[in-house]
Amino acid sequence: MAYVSATDMVIDARNRKYAVGHFNLNNMEFIRAFLLAAQETQSPMILGVSGSTAKYMGGYRSIVGMVKPFIDHLAITVPVALHADHGNFAQVLDAIDAGFSSVMFDGSSLPFEENLHKSEQLVEICRKKGISLECEVNGIGGEEDGVVTVGGTADPEQCRRLGLIGINMLAAGIGNIHGKYPADWPGLHFDLLEEIARITDYTPLVLHGGSQIPANMLRRAIALGISKINVNTECQMAFAAAVREYIEQGKDRIGTGYSLQTLLSPGVEAIQRVAMDKMMLFGSVGKA
């Protein structure tokens, strides 16, 4: 079965210096597009689900119930992890209970000792169930689920302590932000990334806010230890642009062009292309 945790994926990515793409789901069309992209490029892949998407799509259980049969239906053979993105403690437990194969506990807004303590509890729970666990130190900037934060930079000592408790992936702010990057964005802090990679002893590192980061920066980040890159905004923008073009060309008014499967298919094709381009750039093609 292609449905697996992200543990082995990110270890392999860390060792062979590529990154696994984490693509956020927003509706059913995203599941189809990303599964097809992964299969076509023979890439391992992580499907991310934020708390608000879980609510929108009927809860974590509904999503597991949709993704697993979808994998079989499309005869997907590459490894796919279903990952609860930025969960609080209760959401993470809910996602684990629902059958997610991977979770992210985002305790970055908590006092560090509390973040560490809760992360330690989750390490035990996830290890017993064979689920991969990502934790975060220091908020990643930008806007996600209506929460706006400025681009943070992580404290390496906190990264070291969190990285050594047995988590599978560590997300640490290195100037990256969720959503669109402002024109005057100064870029990623590579010195900090290098230090975090060294001090966390080869824990696979995660780069959030992977949309719109220039290719040369991403390649350098991967070379320095980034093993998973999260992408959402760029896919949503591509989907919206493709559907807008279809409607602006009046195609929904011709014949049965109003049929939602037809109307949304340019969006599906657009995000499949974005995902495949990212997989190429991340170096995950052929690594399944």
Residues with a known catalytic role: 85
Q: Looking at the DSSP assignment, which residues form a beta bridge with residue 171?
A: 136, 206
Please report, as a single letter, which amino acid is at residue 170. Answer: L
26 binds ligand 13P (CB under 6 A): no
Q: Looking at the DSSP assignment, which residues form a beta bridge with residue 126?
A: none
CB proximity list for 80: less than 8 A, separation 6 or greater? 2, 3, 4, 35, 38, 44, 45, 46, 47, 67, 71
24 binds ligand 13P (CB under 6 A): yes
Burial class (CB in 10 A: 0-12, 13-18, 19+), 256: exposed
231 binds ligand 13P (CB under 6 A): yes
- Residue 96's H or E segment, with its range, is helix 89-98
Per-residue binder mask for ligand 13P (CB under 6 A), 81-100, x = binder: ----xx--------------
In whole angstroms, the minimum distance from the beta carbon of 85 to ligand 13P comes to 5
| Binding region for ligand 13P (CB under 6 A) out of 6-14, 60-68, 148-156, 227-235 | 227-235
Helix/strand/coil (H, E, C) string of 193-225? HHHHHHHCCCCCEEECCCCCCCHHHHHHHHHCC
211 binds ligand 13P (CB under 6 A): yes
230 binds ligand 13P (CB under 6 A): yes
233 binds ligand 13P (CB under 6 A): yes
Please, what sign has the CA dihedral across residues 182, 49, 7, 199?
Answer: positive
CB proximity list for 265: less than 8 A, separation 6 or greater? none
232 binds ligand 13P (CB under 6 A): yes
Burial class (CB in 10 A: 0-12, 13-18, 19+), 47: buried
In whole angstroms, the minimum distance from the beta carbon of 117 to ligand 13P comes to 23
Per-residue binder mask for ligand 13P (CB under 6 A), 166-195, x = binder: ------------xx----------------
In whole angstroms, the minimum distance from the beta carbon of 231 to ligand 13P comes to 5
- Nearer to ligand 13P by C-beta: 91 or 211? 211
The Cα angle at residue 190 between residues 133 and 155, in degrees rounded to 5? 55
CB proximity list for 143: less than 8 A, separation 6 or greater? 178, 179
53 binds ligand 13P (CB under 6 A): no
108 binds ligand 13P (CB under 6 A): no
| Binding region for ligand 13P (CB under 6 A) out of 27-35, 158-166, 209-217, 254-262 | 209-217
278 binds ligand 13P (CB under 6 A): no
| Interface residue list for ligand 13P (CB under 6 A) | 24, 48, 85-86, 178-179, 208-211, 230-234
